Amino acid sequence: MKRSYLRACAWSGPVCAFLWIIGLLFFARFIPPPSPQESAPEIATFFAGNAVGIRWGMVLLLIGGVLYLPWVAVIAVQMKRIEGRQSPLTYVQFGLGTLFVLLFVLAAIFWQTAAYRPLEDVVFTQRFNDMGWFMFLSPVPIVTVQGLALSLVVLGDRSERLFPRWFGWFNLWAQLVFLPGTVIPLFKAGPVTWNGAIGLWIPAVAFTVWMCLVTWALLRAVAVPDADADADADVEVGAGEDASSAFGAMA
C-alpha cells in the first residue's frame, strides 16, 4: 500500500476535528452550548436566530464525521501490523470507529431538523436539540472501548517498533477522561451536563489532544517499513542475484 494514502488517512483526523470546530463554533454558534435548563421557547428562539448558520454548521459536522472513518481505518492497519493475521482487537477498534461516525451523522441531522422549522413546534425543537447533544456526547463507551483496544495492542507489543509504550498508557488515560459523558442524560444542571466542565469542556480538550497525539503516532508508525515486505524484498533480490550468477556461469 502506498504510504501517501496512509499519511492522507492519518491527516484526515485533524481535518475532521478542524471541521467540527468551525461548524460548531463559527457557524452554528453551539460553543458555548445552550443550557439544558432553557425552556422550549428559549431553545426555539436560539435556533431561529441562527437557523441558516446552524444548518451550514451541520453540513461541516457531517463532512468531518465522515473523515473520521479514514483515520480509524489507518489505525486499524497499524494495529493489524502488530496483531498479525488473528487480529480481533483491530476489528473491534475499526467496527466501533465506524459506529461512531454514524452517531455524529445522526447528531448533525437532529440539529438540522431542529433548525429547519424551529418556531412551528417549540417542544419538538427542544427535543431534537436534546437528542443532538445526547447523540454527540453520551455514546462515550464506543470511543472508550475503541481506545482500549488500541491501548491493549500497543501495550502488548514489547518491541515498541510502531508505537512507544507511553503512548498506550496515554491513550488509556484519555478514555477515562471521556467516560463522564456517559451520564450526561442524568443531569440538567451542574458540571456533568452537555455544557458543564466534566461533561463537555474537559473531555473536549482531552479529545482534541488525543486526536493530535494519535495522528502523530500514526505518522510515525506509517514511516516504519513493514518487516515482512522488507524480508520479501530481500528474498527477491537474492533470487535475482542467484539467477544472474547462474546465467553468467552458463554463458
pLDDT digits over 115-166, tens only?
Answer: 999 999 999 999 999 999 999 999 889 989 999 999 999 999 988 899 999 9
The whole-angstrom distance between residue 2's C-alpha and the CA centroid of its chain comes to 22
Percentage, residues of the chain above pLDDT 70: 90
Contact of 22 with 51, CB cutoff 8 Å: no
Model pLDDT, residue 60 = 95
In a domain, 251, yes or no: no
Model pLDDT, residue 158 = 87
Contact of 225 with 5, CB cutoff 8 Å: no
Model pLDDT, residue 179 = 87
For residue 135, give the amino acid letter.
M
Model pLDDT, residue 220 = 94
Query: How large is the average pLDDT for residues 210-232?
Result: 82
In a domain, 232, yes or no: no
Model pLDDT, residue 215 = 95
List b or e across 96-106, with b for residues whose CB sees 16 or more CB atoms inside 10 angstroms: bbbebbebbbb
Mean pLDDT of all residues belonging to the chain: 89
Whether the pLDDT of residue 192 is over 80: the answer is: yes
Which residues are CB-contacts of 65 (< 8 A; sequence separation ≥ 6)? 16, 20, 101, 104, 105, 108
What length is written for the chain? 251
Neighbours of 243 (CB within 10 A): 10
d(CA 125, CA 54): 13
Exposed, middle or buried: residue 190 (CB in 10 Å: 0-12, 13-18, 19+)? exposed
In a domain, 34, yes or no: yes
Model pLDDT, residue 180 = 86
CA atoms within 13 A on the CB side of 183: 10
Contact of 80 with 90, CB cutoff 8 Å: yes
Q: Indicate the pLDDT class of residue 251, thresholds 50, 70 and 90.
A: very low
In a domain, 119, yes or no: yes
Whether the pLDDT of residue 248 is over 80: the answer is: no
In a domain, 240, yes or no: no
E-state strands within the chain: none
Angle at 143 between CA 37 and CA 130, to 5 degrees: 20
What is the domain count for the chain? Answer: 1
In a domain, 246, yes or no: no
Give SS3 for 148.
helix
Contact of 40 with 122, CB cutoff 8 Å: yes
Domain span at residue 27 reads 3-223
In a domain, 142, yes or no: yes
Q: Indicate the pLDDT class of residue 228, thresholds 50, 70 and 90.
A: low
Q: Indicate the pLDDT class of residue 243, thresholds 50, 70 and 90.
A: very low
Query: How large is the average pLDDT for residues 232-246?
Result: 44
Which residues are CB-contacts of 35 (< 8 A; sequence separation ≥ 6)? 193, 195
Model pLDDT, residue 96 = 95
In a domain, 239, yes or no: no
Q: How many helical (H) and strand (E) elements, i.e. helices and strands, does the chain have?
A: 9, 0
Q: Indicate the pLDDT class of residue 234, thresholds 50, 70 and 90.
A: very low
Query: How large is the average pLDDT for residues 111-117?
Result: 96
Percentage, residues of the chain above pLDDT 90: 75
Model pLDDT, residue 231 = 44
d(CA 52, CA 57): 8
| Cell 488525543 -> residue | 210
